[in-house]
Structure 1
C-alpha cells in the first residue's frame, strides 16, 4: 500500500469523497454531519492523503491542524471494495505518525454515535484513542462521539 499526499483532483478520490458524504448524510441527521467537502479539504490547515495499490484507490484520510499542538483526524474512508483489509488502520497510523512529526501533542476526532459508526469507534480505541468531550468548535451532540489520543 502506498499512501501519498493527494491534491483532490482525481476522479477516483472525488468519487470516494462523494460516497463518504452521502453515507454521512444517510446515517446522521444533517446538523450532526461534520464531514468536510472538497472545498473544506483544500483549506491550508488540512492535509489529505489517499492510499493506493496497483493503481487502485483503497481509501483516504486527512489531518486538520487545530493549533500548533492539536490536530483533528478527518475524512477517514475505505473504498467499499477494500473493507476489512487493514486500510483504515494503516491510514490512521500514518496520520498519527505525521501528527507526531509536526509536534502535535494530541490528535482528536469526531464520529457518529449510531451503530453504523461502531466499527470505526472500535478501530480508534484499538489504536489508543479514548473517549472525551467536545473539542475545538464542537458542542455536545447525542449523535456525535469524540475521541482523543495523546502523542
Structure 2
C-alpha cells in the first residue's frame, strides 16, 4: 500500500476531506461540552488564514492513498524558533496504520528545513489518541499531568527538534495554569 504526501494549502479542493473530517471530529467529540459544537468546530477551522500554513513560515500536507485523502496536517509559525502543529488528522478507516505518525514526521522535517528548532502544539482533552501519538513521538507534556485533562481543556506539548527529550529548551512554552482556566 502506497501513501503519497502532497504539499498544498487548506484552500486546495483536495483539502476538503481533511477539513470536513476535522470539523466532524471536533463537533462530535465535544458535543456534550458545547451546545453549538458544529459552529464552534467550524469557527476553529476558520480561525487562521491559509497563508499562515505556507512557506516560508508554515506547511500544509495531505496524505493520499488510492486516490483518496486519508490524512494530513499543518504547521504555522509560533515564534522565531518554534513551529506550531495544527490540523493533524487521519480518516477513521485508516487509523492505527502509522499515518498520523508519518504526518508528524513529515511536518517536523519541513519545520527543520525552514529553520525551526522546536515544535509546539495543543490538543483537546477529549483526544486521547492524539496524546498517545505525541507521547510516542517524543513530545513533552507542557501541562500539569496531576490535574484532570478536562480542567486544562487544551493540552500543550513541545519538542526540541535538535535535542528531543530536552525539556529545559521548552520551559518558556510551559503552561503556567490550565489553558481552560480563563474560558
Higher relative contact order (CA 8 A, sep 6+): 1
Which of residues 27, 44, 60 is equivalent to 2:29?
27
> Who is 2:89 aligned against?
77
User: Equivalents in 1 of 2:69, 2:9: separation in Å?
Assistant: 14
> Who is 2:129 aligned against?
119
1:1-151 superposed matches below 5 A: 1-9=3-11, 11-28=13-30, 29=33, 36-37=44-45, 40=48, 42-44=50-52, 45-114=57-126, 117-133=127-143, 142-151=152-161
Which moved further from structure 2: 51-60 or 27-36? 27-36
Which has a greater percent of strand? Answer: 1
- Structure 1 residue 54, shift from structure 2 partner: 2.5
Which moved further from structure 2: 29-38 or 69-78? 29-38
**Structure index of larger Rg:** 2
> Who is 1:138 aligned against?
none
**Structure 2: gaps (5+ residues):** 144-150, 162-183
1:5-37 Cα distance to aligned partner (Å, 9 max, x none): 123355552133122123213323459969852
Q: Per the alignment, do residues 105 and 10 of structure 1 end up closer, same or farther by CA in structure 2, a change over 3 Å counting?
A: closer
**Structure 1: gaps (5+ residues):** 134-140
1:90-127 Cα distance to aligned partner (Å, 9 max, x none): 0001011111111111101100123xx11111111111
RMSD (Å), alpha carbons: 2.8
SS in 2 for 1:63: strand
Under a length normalisation based on structure 1, what TM-score does the superposition of the two structures give? 0.80
User: Equivalents in 2 of 1:3, 1:60: separation in Å?
Assistant: 8
Under a length normalisation based on structure 2, what TM-score does the superposition of the two structures give? 0.68
User: Equivalents in 1 of 2:62, 2:47: separation in Å?
Assistant: 17
CA contact (8 A) 2:78 2:120 kept: no
SS in 2 for 1:90: helix
